[in-house]
Structures are given as structure tokens and as C-alpha cells.
Chain A
Amino acid sequence: QKEVEQDPGPLSVPEGAIVSLNCTYSNSAFQYFMWYRQYSRKGPELLMYTYSSGNKEDGRFTAQVDKSSKYISLFIRDSQPSDSATYLCAMLYSGAGSYQLTFGKGTKLSVIP
């Protein structure tokens, strides 16, 4: 079983839709959870960063973490064509001289005008 599982999609939605992106993980040592957005031929851009179970909202984006289920989600409200990109979840363990950042494979999202 891979440490981080993410459906690669592709996912196509109409403009204005609510998008739900998800990842599951198996390593309970992960402490921090991040979502990155990557446009084609660009480096990933950090969107959301959370370290506890619950919701964190930033504009149209909401990150949700459920540590008991080892499940994280990213919701995008009122999706726009400019949101079309690949979204990568990432899990982080840091401590005792160790820093382990593990990425999902990414979900390719297309928002259709």
C-alpha cells in the first residue's frame, strides 16, 4: 500500500461548480497536510497548510483533515477556468532530525467555461 493515495483523474467540471479533491494516507506519523497547485510546466504553488483535524478556509478554498480516517480533502467553491491545474496533496513528518514530505500523484482538474 502506498503511503499517499490520490486519484489522478482527470476531473472535468463546469465553471461555478464545487470541486472536491481527496487523498488518503496510511502513515499515522504524518503531522502536517498541504495542498499544492501546479500549472503545466511550472513548479507547485502552496495553497493550503494544516496540522490538525478540522477545516481551514482561505477564500474559495477549504482544506479538511480527518486524522482518524487518514483522509484529507480540498474543496474549491465557485470554480473558475483559472483553477484548471494539477492539484497535489502532500503529507509531512518532521522530527528528531527527520523531514519526510510525501506527495500524492496529483489530480488533474479542468474547469470548463
Chain B
Amino acid sequence: GAVVSQHPSWVICKSGTSVKIECRSLDFQATTMFWYRQFPKQSLMLMATSNEGSKATYEQGVEKDKFLINHASLTLSTLTVTSAHPEDSSFYICSARDRYIRAFFGQGTRLTVV
């Protein structure tokens, strides 16, 4: 299957700082990427959909000014958590859609805000 690389795998940051998470499709071009958040023992919660070269579409209740998404190329999307607070601590996962419309996931990023 296709490979999606997400970096970093885990990060600890101080409250008030910003954190950037990268998502790369390594062996295919992804016109559409997705960002999810997952709480312990719960399923994936879609945060936003990003299309290459255009603004991301955010799900209801997700603050677009807090979770900045940039999809600058067909292989890279970034999620920046701005002015992070402890309640932003979570597991963030990206996904990329290939030309057969299958969705492949990155390894996830565990964010801890202290």
C-alpha cells in the first residue's frame, strides 16, 4: 500500500507556543489530505479536509484560526496548532487520498501541551 509519513511522532510543548505537524505522501500524489483528532479509546474525529492549492474546509466546531492547515503541494500538508493549550493535547492523524480514492494514514502525532 501507499505510504504516508507524519512527523513528528510525538511532541511536548509549552502552553502558548505553536506546533507544526507535517504529513507527506511518499509514493503518490495526494490532491486531498485529511486531518483527524483521536481521543483515548475513541474513533477518529475529522477536523478538516485540505485540497492542494486551496483553503482547507473545516468541520463544524473546529477553530480554523487555531488549527492552521496548509496544503502547499501534492505531497505535503501541514497542521499548525497555534497558541496551544493543555486541552489541545491529543493524538493527531493525517490521511491522504490516492487516485483510487483509498485513504492511507500517517503514523500519528501525540501532542502534549504542558
Interface residues, chain A, CB within 8 Å of chain B? 32, 34, 36, 41-46, 49, 88, 90, 92, 94, 99, 101, 103-106
Q: Are A103 and B101 in contact (CB under 8 A)?
A: no
Chain A interface mostly: strand
Sorting the interface of chain B by its residue count into under 10, 10 to 19, 20 to 34 or 35 or more gives: 20 to 34
Q: Are A99 and B105 in contact (CB under 8 A)?
A: no
Q: Does B91 interact with chain A (Cβ within 8 Å)?
A: yes
Q: Does B1 interact with chain A (Cβ within 8 Å)?
A: yes
CA distance A1 to B101 in the complex (A): 26
Q: Does B42 interact with chain A (Cβ within 8 Å)?
A: yes
Interface residues, chain B, CB within 8 Å of chain A? 1, 4, 6, 32, 34, 42-44, 46, 49, 91, 93, 97, 101-108, 110
Total number of A-B contacts with CB less than 8 angstroms? Answer: 46
Contact of A43 among B6, B32, B49 (CB under 8 A): B6
A-B pairs with the 6 shortest C-beta distances? A43-B105, A43-B108, A105-B43, A44-B105, A43-B107, A43-B93
Chain B interface mostly: strand
CA distance A90 to B97 in the complex (A): 14
Name which residue of chain B comes closest to A6, CB basis: B43
Given contacts A41-B91, A42-B108, contact A103 B1 (CB under 8 A): no
- CB proximity of A20 to chain B, nearest CB, Å: 20
Name which residue of chain A comes closest to B49, CB basis: A99
CB-CB under 8 A from B108, the residues of chain A are 41-43
- CB proximity of B38 to chain A, nearest CB, Å: 9
